[in-house]
Amino acid sequence: MTSLSTNPYKGTRDYYPREKRIQNYIFNIWARTVKQFGYEEYGAPMLEPLEVYTAKSGDELAGEQTYRFTDRGERQVAIRPEMTPSISRMVAAKRQELAYPARLFSIANFMRYERPQRGREREFWQMNVDMFGAAGVQADAEIITLGFETMKAFGATPNMYSIKVNSRTLIDAMMQDYLGLDPIQAPLMVKLFDRKNKISNEDFRDQAIEIFGVDNAKEGLGKIAKLLIAKEISSLPSELSEHETVAELSSLFEVLQQRGVTNVQFDITLMRGFDYYTGTVFEFFDSHPDNNRAMFGGGRYDGLVGLFGAEPISAVGMAPGLSPIELFLESHNLLPEFASTTELYMATLDESLIPQAYDLASQLRSEKVNVELDFTGRKLDKQIKTAVKKQIPYVVFIGENEVKSQKFNVKNTKTGEEEAVVFERLVTLVKDKRHNYSVDDNDLFE
């Protein structure tokens, strides 16, 4: 019989304890931060009816990127490629019972057909943070502030990244009123702007000419040039600067400044891919030269809940992803060193002492120390080696003398130092060492 492959499925990752610690660290900081702002956790199914995505997510995502299949009951289903349609469905289902503004978050995995590359997997994890039932600047500001506060909690300073902001209503005005595009041309131009940083200036120009048509191309390109030099909202061309959204965005920038969110900038070229956005959109960009890319984004999508037969409910949210944040933290040297969640390895010198060792381990566990008991009866150096390999900070040795004297030799696996201690000191020694990055009493799953 040929043996089975040990590789994970294409584009997915196995998280061994070392990788899982990093994942948990990021999840934990996310959850702690948004819970401090009053967001409550929810969970949604990994499968949804396919139509939930075809209705509004944008062609590429619903069509080419979604894992879809027909189930045994002949239902068209999809593995969720994103969370926004699921949480919109959930809010629509309990529209009457929920209290507003509803502040909700989740941390979950998703799947999309992607060409796997650094920081982009077919199975990926992200947090979704959304506020339902509140329109306006304060709501938009809170979501962007949350993004800023999660980054701060990772140790990031504002110079390490920037927050680009635009608005769908301004984009619409720009496409229709300012550039004079019709309903067929406008979405093509949005897609072209969306790809702007991925193609050459020549390609952008050529494709823009194609959209404008030869007769209008010269005037259109001139107007685009004027747009692109507007690095601040106040320097927009006069045809756009009177638009009501401009005042709203100015007010948004002001609130963000007050809250210390200083690395925000207006960016008229920011489009965001999803079809469901209706107002403010934003993206967090890594400023590191090795990793100059969008990390995550979000925006306002006031129409999505209404697709589920409920009255429309205002909604704004964002979705930071695990892999982009991990790359960011690596690039900026912000990832702490992680030890095992196991704090003490108990090496037993003689198998006959296992019952006594077990009792001591139980006492330590009731003091909330995480103890791994080695009952293998192997040579001592092998037991120590196991503890070191597992990155467990301390080893304690249990022999006949230790059991009699109730004094225990403890070895620090990093420094090699050894110390003979009584039970109480053993507890404090281990607890003092605990997670210096730590998240103490405010964790996820609480």
What part of residues 301-360 is at the interface with a second copy (CB under 8 A)? Answer: 307-310, 340-342, 345, 354-355, 358
* Nearer Cβ to a second copy (235/341): 341
Q: Is 12 in the site for a second copy (CB under 8 A)?
A: yes
- Interface residue with a second copy among 74, 333, 436, 445 (CB under 8 A) is 445
Residue placing its CB nearer to a second copy in the complex, 185 or 323: 323
Q: Is 16 exposed, middle or buried (0-12, 13-18, 19+ CB in 10 A)?
A: exposed
Cα–Cα distance, 395 to 412 (Å, whole number): 7
Cβ atoms of 322 and 26 within 8 Å: the answer is yes
- Minimum CB separation of residue 211 from a second copy in Å reads 28
Structure tokens at 355: 């019952």
Q: Rounded distance, CA 286 to CA 266, Å?
A: 16
The answer to whether 375 contacts a second copy (rule: CB under 8 A) is: yes
Cβ-in-10-Å burial (0-12, 13-18, 19+) of 88 comes to buried
Q: Which stretch binds a second copy (CB under 8 A): 195-203, 284-292, 388-396, 402-410?
A: 388-396
CA 266 to CA 167: how far, in whole Å? 9
Q: Which of residues 116-175 bind a second copy (CB under 8 A)?
A: 123, 134, 138-139, 142
Q: Which of 58, 67, 172, 205 binds a second copy (CB under 8 A)?
A: 67
Which region, judged by CB under 8 A, interacts with a second copy, from 2-10, 179-187, 190-198, 293-301?
A: 2-10
Considering only 370, 380, 409, 421, the residue that binds a second copy (CB under 8 A) is 370
Least distance to a second copy from the beta carbon of 193, Å? 28
User: Minimum CB separation from a second copy for residue 39, in Å?
Assistant: 8
The minimum distance between CB 64 and a second copy, in angstroms, equals 9
- Distance in angstroms (rounded) separating the CA atoms of residues 112 and 320: 16
Instruction: For a second copy, give the closer residue by CB, 89 or 300.
Output: 89
- Kind of pairing between the strands at 123-132 and 264-266: unpaired
Q: Which of residues 405-434 bind a second copy (CB under 8 A)?
A: 434
Among 195, 385, 407, 414, binds a second copy (CB under 8 A): 385
What span, in angstroms and rounded, lies between the C-alpha atoms of 153 and 31? Answer: 11
Q: Would you count residue 443 as binding a second copy (CB under 8 A)?
A: yes
Query: 89 near 308, Cβ under 8 Å?
Result: yes
Among 389, 405, 420, 423, the residue binding a second copy under the rule CB under 8 A is: 389
CA distances from 247 to 3, 138, 169, 244, 279 (A): 65, 14, 12, 5, 13
Q: Which two tokens stand for residue 159?
A: 């110079």
Q: Which of residues 68-127 bind a second copy (CB under 8 A)?
A: 69, 71-73, 75, 77, 79, 89-90, 92-94, 99-101, 103-104, 109, 111, 113, 123
Closest CA to 232 of 257, 255, 249: 249
Based on the shown chain and the rule CB under 8 A, indicate whether residue 195 belongs to the binding site for a second copy: no
- Judged by CB under 8 A, does residue 300 bind a second copy? no
- Give the residue with the Cβ less far from a second copy, 237 or 303: 303
**Looking at 379, 407, 414, 435, which residue binds a second copy (CB under 8 A)?**
435
Q: Which positions from 234 through 263 interact with a second copy, judged by CB under 8 A?
A: 258-259
Question: Using CA atoms, how far apart are residues 283 and 279, in angstroms rounded to an integer?
Answer: 14
Instruction: Give 72 or 118: the residue with its C-beta nearer to a second copy.
Output: 72
196 binds a second copy per the rule CB under 8 A? no
The answer to whether the beta carbons of residues 89 and 276 sit under 8 Å apart is no
Query: Quick one: which of 47, 221, 421, 427 contacts a second copy (CB under 8 A)?
Result: 47
Q: Please, what is the minimum distance in Å from the beta carbon of residue 67 to a second copy?
A: 7
Q: Which is nearer to a second copy, 334 or 388 (CB)?
A: 388
List strands edge to edge, sheet with 315-318: 40-41, 102-111, 123-132, 315-318, 294-300, 280-286, 161-167, 264-266
Give one DSSP letter per residue of 115-144, joined into a string: --BTTB-SEEEEEEEEEES--SHHHHHHHH
Minimum distance, C-beta of residue 296 to a second copy, in the bound complex (Å): 19
At its nearest, how many Å lie between a second copy and the CB of residue 315? Answer: 15
Of 254 and 418, the one with the shorter C-beta distance to a second copy is 254
The rounded Cα 391 to chain-centroid distance in angstroms is 27
Q: How far is the CB of 322 from a second copy (least distance, A)?
A: 11
Q: How many residues bind a second copy (CB under 8 A)?
A: 106
Structure tokens at 340: 């095992």
* 288 neighbors 331 (Cβ within 8 angstroms): yes
- Residue type at position 120: R
Closest separation in Å from C-beta 134 to a second copy:
6
CA 366, 372, 378: angle at the middle one, nearest 5?
140
Judge contact between 144 and 163, C-beta under 8 A.
Answer: yes
